[in-house]
Amino acid sequence: MSDLANYDPDIYNLIEKERLRQVNGLELIASENVVSKSVLEAVGSILTNKYAEGYPGKRYYGGCEFHDQIEDLARDRLCKLFGAEHANVQAVSGSQANQAVYFAFMQNGDKMMSQDLAQGGHLSHGSPVNITGKWYSVSHYGVDKETETLDYAQIAEQARKEKPKMIVCGASAYPRTIDFKAFKEIADEVGAYCMADVAHIAGLIAGGQHPTSVGVTDITTTTTHKTLRGPRGGAIMCGEENAKAIDKSVFPGMQGGPLMHVIAGKAVCFREALTPDFKEYAKQIVRNSQAMAEVMISEGLDLVSGGTDNHLILLDLTNLAANGSHLTGLEAETFLGEAGITVNKNTIPREKLSPFVTSGLRIGTPAVTSRGMKEEEMKQIGHWIAAVLKDVCKDKDSKKAITEVRAEVEALASGFTLYPEVK
């Protein structure tokens, strides 16, 4: 029996239940992935025992000689992966990476421009409920009403009027390619810093499936746990001219001791992302989401912007009638969850419902692609999603499609192991 099972069966059993949920279901949350066993091992290592405030060669604690080497490897690999001049790998999350950048270049009350949360942006891009929205003055841009894509001419016009100190680009629920060069040109015209948050698409950039922001915008932030397939955490990349300001802002500005076990996991993930296999993986993620999107369109479902260029699909549920109103994101998430398909409700452009209910669903392929699934499986999953949504639209109490799909999902999942069974 494992030490944990012996000492704390409550926690052990819950972890085991979660493992089985992941093994038996289909994880289609666009921001999630399945890390390698090597990443898991690094994150679960004895590195968690150590304080290492500071940076390699300049620590505030003794005994950091191996931590210095680990952090140097992580920084060097990240620079190599994205062609960056400087990297900081200490931010414990994507939100903290973003806050560190704002804190480095803006004062309380300064103006920033960013994509609206309700139209694909992220909380940490100045949402009124987030510290970034309370601390800075924020002007949001959205997507064009007709195309549901970013309109760079419109954003440029807004920037000329607002004169922000910083323009933030990058999103959490945007299925199309982002033109980082266009954002940088707009920022240059109005004298603003340009920060790209590539949290969602970092793995696609690393794998050559999306144009890079590194070396284009002034600063790039990312999470390491989405398409990049590493441990939960954040990272920042920039040119040498901004390196000092960024490092100072992360530590001592934002946080104390870095999570060295996670930094080791990040280093492993960056090594993996530098391999030809990872390039193929990134390609497959996009092939998979496009195959699923095609099936959904053929099933008559509405996709925001009409399709996808990346790892995610945003379903617009407003045309799925159910008892006089339309099926909500919350209902669709719940019904699909019962069928073993995990997705998340999401706001869509022109959203009329609250963020707890929503009119959309966000569906992503990074995790199922990590399990080895390809276009054929994606098409099948696309049909299953359509079958469940259409059936519950006819009768919300119907369990017919849910039960049938649940059995099919379990059969499919059993052919694609997450990790070998723990004996």
CB 5 to ligand PLP: min, Å: 30
φ and ψ at 214, to 5 degrees?
A: -75, 125
Q: Which helix (H) or strand (E) holds 384?
A: helix 375-394
Residue nearest to ligand PLP (CB): 94
From the candidates 75, 165, 184, 226, give the one annotated as an active-site residue.
Answer: 226
Is residue 116 close enough to count as binding ligand PLP by CB under 6 A? no
Candidate list 25, 28, 31, 127; residue touching ligand PLP; CB under 6 A? 31
CA distances from 11 to 2, 3, 14, 48 (A): 12, 12, 5, 19
Q: Which is nearer to ligand PLP, 94 or 133 (CB)?
A: 94
Q: Which is nearer to ligand PLP, 222 or 318 (CB)?
A: 222
Q: Report residue 97 as tokens.
A: 């990476």
From the candidates 32, 51, 185, 287, give the one annotated as an active-site residue.
Answer: 51
Candidate list 54, 126, 133, 170; residue touching ligand PLP; CB under 6 A? 170
The DSSP annotation for 183-199 comes to HHHHHHHHT-EEEEE-T
The DSSP annotation for 142-153 comes to ---TTT-S--HH
Taking residues 206 to 245 in sequence order and writing x for each that binds ligand PLP by CB under 6 A, - otherwise, the string is: -----------------x----------x-----------
Of 42, 41, 60, 44, the residue nearest 52 (C-alpha): 60
Query: Is the peptide bond prior to 128 cis by the omega test (within 30 degrees of 0)?
Result: no
Contact 370, 33 (CB under 8 A): yes
Residue 58 CA to residue 38 CA, distance in Å, equals 28
Strands 26-27 and 341-342, sheet pairing: parallel
212: annotated active-site residue: no
Please tell me whether 125 is known to bind a ligand.
no
Chain positions 297 to 316 lying near ligand PLP, rule: CB under 6 A, are: none
Is residue 149 close enough to count as binding ligand PLP by CB under 6 A? no
51: annotated active-site residue: yes
Question: At how many degrees (to 10) do helices 329-338 and 400-414 cross?
Answer: 60
If DSSP codes are grouped into helix, strand and coil, which group holds residue 405?
Answer: helix
CB 140 to ligand PLP: min, Å: 14
Is residue 122 close enough to count as binding ligand PLP by CB under 6 A? yes
Is residue 197 close enough to count as binding ligand PLP by CB under 6 A? yes
- Annotated binding residues for (6S)-5,6,7,8-tetrahydrofolate, written as ranges, equal 117, 121-123, 240, 354-356
Which positions are annotated as active-site residues? 51, 53, 197, 223, 226, 232
- Annotated binding residues, written as ranges, equal 117, 121-123, 240, 354-356
Positions in the binding site for ligand PLP (CB under 6 A): 31, 93-95, 122, 124, 170-172, 197, 199-200, 223, 234
